[in-house]
Structure 1
């Protein structure tokens, strides 16, 4: 991925940052003409706004860019507003920045150049180039940008080109870059290998279901396992979704995309862990052999599951993958899933829901989420709601017996399949930007991976 960065400062146009109403603070750093120009233009430094100021020769002399306290914290890619708007040229940030701010500025600049171009020609315009500020960790910024681009591209790709086989191919490409080992179990082989619920969810599609298993790192290193829901398209099965409910279902493999993106960051940074990535990749379709409401499935763990709703299929494929991961007893187990609309009702599209029985993990992840401006919010694994998953004919039902607390009961369902691993986190996320912001066009979005990478790097230092 070519980055819109350049090392040479020759002819670089300076960018001066200011808070709203902070023009006077620039008096000793910019020419008086620039301040007069800004005042005559009514520029007040509002967060995200910019003003191009000409130089004595009529060329672009400098850029003023508005940043803000709380608003800046809420816009992790704030500098994307500049790279998306400025003309071609070379720029440098003239305002001193600390290491965290320097990283955020460069990452934001790169995010401002993101566009999903698989089906459209590039606009051909040369991008504005940034001289990275002193103190920026360019390796960390690069791997983060690569992970975000990967996640967005996978989620944005329509299901016609992102079926289970295509998702496996994407995982194979990631593995090849890092010399990771990867195995893919396909179709009826899933039954022999012990993934009956992955098979049941995906068998009605003419694109065979599969279980992707990527491994990397030394065998005696601390074990980190990532599980990602890979439902490449979700019709709802026989409990068919309405057409409006299917419009975004190409993103139902967003959990798998997140697992691959974070895996890339971990491997690229050479973190001293034994990494494992498990992705159940399926398409939930309608056919004569589709699973039915009322069917009873036997899971990898041996628990029997009554199908109360075929549209609650994500938790079924995750359950088999989590049971496999749990057998390994990793030091850290994280699953990602676009699992419930209830989580979005509770927290909205921008705030992933975190579930974990580990209070220390929750606190540490919350700290990193704040530090990285990569938000999440913990919801409870409220044990009394577990009885809502009771079934009269099986060990449990895949949906609860009422309309409330859907995100919690889904997490409690998954918890039944994680019995040996104490440090487990379940992330119910949207993986999509519905309303655009700086560096975040409408479409697939990466959530929580920056916070999780920081936590893993801290927890398992070199």
Structure 2
């Protein structure tokens, strides 16, 4: 397992500026103008290869000795670029090894494209030898290279955690990853495990995880001594069978990613701590495996949460909101200035917005504005969903205070978010219902685990918390 510091060394900018070759970023309607300024041999090569500067296309131009002299990266037009992000990461995959530098790139796009290049260097190689792109980038001028390397390291940590299968990523392994991160940044960490969860009044975390021979636990670490208090809560269900409401085989196939909320929170936590943001950070991760055994929770059971609210279990596969409920209650007791939960919580969210958008819930107008602005600035798309009050009745079964899985199937992501909000107390609160998985490869985002919303939140924090 790569640690955050390992990832920083791996996903780093090149430093051999003297040997760097130029990568000319050319828009389609500017190609003829660019060619007119080039030597005849370059013009002939480009035209002979049919290069049109279409978005995502790359062409290496050789010198007299046959070695690369320069390269062209097609940048299409504004309409084409608006349909995606990290476009120059495609060039990173197409270029030969060695250092490269951007030429002709709009400075306003430099940060996004430089980060995309770093992220394109990620490869999950724990079980099969593979490498990221061999082409390295010289950090563009006026880009904070160290900051981007930290962000890339946080994303690499998230991807590594999600990509690791459950046989090697149980609650105890997730705890070890948290311990490594806490040690790296001199954070203070405590862990409550197994039956001790009951003694600390964390009954829902215990109930969800008690059927597994890998004990459930609540991981709690804190960092920072100045500034506003931020609490991050990440769903750490390391594998989800569905419990007694057993998932089908096809639905269970990707459940190693059900700790994607915790993985994303840890990646964001690394970014915050490595950048030394002036805030007090607390990370809460309920880490469990939702397994099947004789002592598994049953449909129809009524459980009492840390907050005292009773919950009817109408589906044991709606377990994520249960472990988050206790963690949110604990977090709210600390009266943070902002509390954020991240979870791969509902299939309804994926159906609503697909795998590329991070749906989130928030009522605070200033927080919403900060998140939307941050997401737009760092190319980390989000979509606000409604805490729709008329649906509150759907999560009230009558026999208990709350229902963990309302019947009917309508508004599944919204009712889950409303359920969680009941446990956030008076805290300023946002909830992210993410997918955490890239089903098909895209520039800077290989198929597999992916962080969603972390960079948007990092960009939002200065405004959201008046840092």
Q: Please report the TM-score for the alignment, with normalisation by the length of structure 2.
A: 0.95
1:178-197 alignment, distance < 5 Å: 178-197=185-204
Larger mean CA deviation between 23-32 and 311-320 belongs to: 23-32
Q: Which moved more, 1:154-163 or 1:359-368?
A: 359-368
* 2:307 paired residue number: 301
Unaligned stretches of 5+ in structure 1? Answer: none
Q: Which residue does 1:434 correspond to in 2?
A: 439
Q: 8 Å contact 1:22–1:44 — kept in the other structure? A: no
Q: Distance in 1 between matches of 2:80 and 2:287?
A: 38
Contact 1:4–1:127 (8 Å) recurs in 2 = no
Q: Does 1:66 align with 2:71?
A: no
Distance 1:225 1:172, change over 3 A: same
Note if contact 1:114-1:149 (Cα within 8 Å) is conserved in structure 2.
yes
Q: Contact 1:73–1:373 at 8 Å: present in 2 too?
A: no
Deviations 1:353-385 (Å, cap 9, x if unpaired)? 111121221122111111111001011111111
**Deviation at 1:158?**
0.1
**In the aligned structure 1, how far is the partner of 2:295 from the partner of 2:38?**
71
**Equivalent pair of 1:389/1:401 in contact (CA under 8 Å):** no
Which residue, out of 272, 279, 288, partners 1:282? 288
- Once residues 352 and 413 of structure 2 are traced to their aligned partners in structure 1, the CA distance between those partners, rounded to angstroms, is 9
Alignment of 1:171 onto 2:178: yes
Kept after mapping to 1: 8 A contact 2:190/2:220 = yes
- Counterpart position of 1:90: 99
Counterpart of 1:242?
Answer: 248
Partner of 2:454: 449
Q: Which has the higher mean CA deviation after the structures are superposed, 355-364 or 446-455?
A: 355-364
CA distance in 2, matches of 1:71, 1:213: 44
Question: 2:402 is matched with which residue: 392, 396, 399?
Answer: 396
- C-alpha distance in 1 between matches for 2:20 and 2:398: 71
- Farther off after superposition, 297-306 or 53-62: 53-62
Q: Which whole-Å CA distance do the structure 2 matches of 1:264 and 1:72 have between them?
A: 30
The CA distance in 1 between the partners of 2:466 and 2:65, in whole Å, is 52
Deviates more, 1:155-164 or 1:8-17: 8-17
Number of aligned residue pairs: give it.
Answer: 458
SS in structure 1 of the partner of residue 211 of structure 2? coil
Q: Report deviation, 1:29.
A: 4.7
Which position in structure 2 is the counterpart of 1:312? 318
What is aligned with 1:80?
A: 89
Normalised to the residue count of structure 1, the TM-score between the two structures is 0.96
CA distance in structure 2 between the partners assigned to 1:189 and 1:30 by the alignment: 72
Query: 1:122 Cα deviation (Å)?
Result: 4.0
How many angstroms apart in 1 are the aligned matches of 2:379 and 2:305? Answer: 38
CA-CA distance at 1:79 after TM superposition: 2.2
Residue in 2 that maps onto 1:26? 34
Matched, 1:114 2:122: yes
CA shift for structure 1 position 460: 4.2
Q: For residues 389-428 of structure 1, what are the structure 2 equivalents within 5 Å?
A: 389-421=395-427, 423-428=428-433
> How far, CA to CA, are the matches of 1:96 and 1:407 in structure 2?
40
Within 1, Cα distance between the matches of 2:390 and 2:68?
64
Q: Deviations over 1:433-458 (max 9, x none)?
A: 00111111110001111110011134
How has the CA–CA distance of structure 1 residues 403 and 261 changed in structure 2, closer, same or farther, with 3 Å as cutoff?
A: same
Q: Which position in structure 1 is the counterpart of 2:278?
A: 272
Further displaced range: 395-404 or 87-96: 87-96
CA deviation after TM superposition for structure 1 residue 25, in Å: 2.8
Q: Could you tell me how far apart the structure 2 residues matched to 1:111 and 1:184 are?
A: 32
1:89-168 matches, cutoff 5 A: 89-98=98-107, 100-122=108-130, 127-168=134-175
Question: Do 2:11 and 2:119's aligned partners in 1 also have CA atoms closer than 8 Å?
Answer: no
CA distance in 1, matches of 2:53, 2:273: 40
In structure 2, runs of 5+ residues without a counterpart are: 1-8
Q: Report the Cα distance in structure 2 between the residues aligned to 1:174 and 1:111, rounded to whole angstroms.
A: 20
Q: What SS does the aligned partner of 1:22 have? A: helix
| Corresponding position of 1:215 | 222
2:3 matched to which residue of 1? Answer: none
How far apart in 1 are the matches of 2:211 and 2:33? 65
Aligned-partner Cα distance in 1 for 2:314–2:133: 54
Deviation at 1:335, TM superposition (A): 0.5
